[in-house]
Amino acid sequence: MSDHIMVIEDEQKIADAIAYALRREGYTVEVCLNGETALKRLSAFRPNAIILDVMLPGMDGYELLKHMQNKGSLGIIMLTAKEDIVNKVLGLELGADDYITKPFDMRELLARLKSLLRRIQAAGEKPDTDEITLDGVTLHKSKRTVHADDRSLDLTPKEFDLLELLLASPGQVYSREQLLDSVWGMSYFGGTRTVDIHVQRLRKKLGEPGSEIIQTVHGIGYKARRGTL
Examine the domain organization and report whether 70 and 150 are in the same domain: no
Burial class (CB in 10 A: 0-12, 13-18, 19+), 34: middle
Examine the domain organization and report whether 67 and 82 are in the same domain: yes
Q: Is 21 helix (H, G, I), strand (E, B) or coil?
A: helix
- Report, as an integer, the average pLDDT of 77-81: 87
- Report, as an integer, the average pLDDT of 114-138: 74
**Among 157, 163, 152, which Cα is nearest to 74's?**
157
Q: Is 101 helix (H, G, I), strand (E, B) or coil?
A: strand
Q: Phi and psi at residue 209, in whole multiples of 5°?
A: -65, -25
pLDDT bracket for residue 128 (50, 70, 90): very low
Sheet order of strands, 98-101 included: 28-32, 4-8, 49-53, 75-80, 98-101
Residue 71 CA: distances (Å) to CA of 96, 157, 181, 228? 9, 9, 23, 31
Q: Is pLDDT at 18 greater than 80 in this prediction?
A: yes
> Per mean pLDDT, which range of 29-38, 40-49, 55-64, 191-200 is the poorest?
191-200
Burial class (CB in 10 A: 0-12, 13-18, 19+), 145: middle
Structural domain containing residue 184? 131-224
pLDDT exceeding 90 applies to what percent of the chain? 43
Examine the domain organization and report whether 106 and 163 are in the same domain: no
CA 133/CA 148 separation, integer angstroms? 10
Q: Is 58 helix (H, G, I), strand (E, B) or coil?
A: coil
pLDDT bracket for residue 76 (50, 70, 90): very high
CATH code (residue 112) = 3.40.50.2300
Query: Of the residues 92, 124, 156, which one is the last residue of a structural domain?
Result: 124
Q: Is pLDDT at 156 greater than 70 in this prediction?
A: yes
**Among 138, 105, 125, 106, which Cα is nearest to 24's?**
106
Examine the domain organization and report whether 117 and 218 are in the same domain: no
Query: Of the residues 70, 100, 124, which one is the last residue of a structural domain?
Result: 124
Number of folded domains that form the chain = 2
Examine the domain organization and report whether 88 and 192 are in the same domain: no
pLDDT bracket for residue 101 (50, 70, 90): confident
- Report, as an integer, the average pLDDT of 166-176: 88
- Report, as an integer, the average pLDDT of 16-30: 96
Which pTM does this prediction carry?
Answer: 0.60
- Report, as an integer, the average pLDDT of 154-181: 89
Q: Is pLDDT at 95 greater than 90 in this prediction?
A: no
Q: Is pLDDT at 186 greater than 70 in this prediction?
A: no
Q: Across the chain, which distance is largest between two alpha carbons, in Å?
A: 56
Query: Do the beta carbons of residue 223 and residue 215 sit within 8 Å?
Result: yes
Q: Is pLDDT at 99 greater than 80 in this prediction?
A: yes
On whether residue 229 sits in a domain, the answer given is no
Examine the domain organization and report whether 141 and 210 are in the same domain: yes
CA 117/CA 72 separation, integer angstroms? 13
> Per mean pLDDT, which range of 38-47, 84-93, 184-193 is the poorest?
184-193
On whether residue 197 sits in a domain, the answer given is yes
Q: How high is the mean pLDDT of the chain?
A: 85
Query: Do the beta carbons of residue 46 and residue 64 sit within 8 Å?
Result: no
- Report, as an integer, the average pLDDT of 126-136: 70
Query: Of the residues 124, 140, 167, which one is the last residue of a structural domain?
Result: 124
- Report, as an integer, the average pLDDT of 187-206: 82
Examine the domain organization and report whether 219 and 188 are in the same domain: yes
Examine the domain organization and report whether 114 and 22 are in the same domain: yes
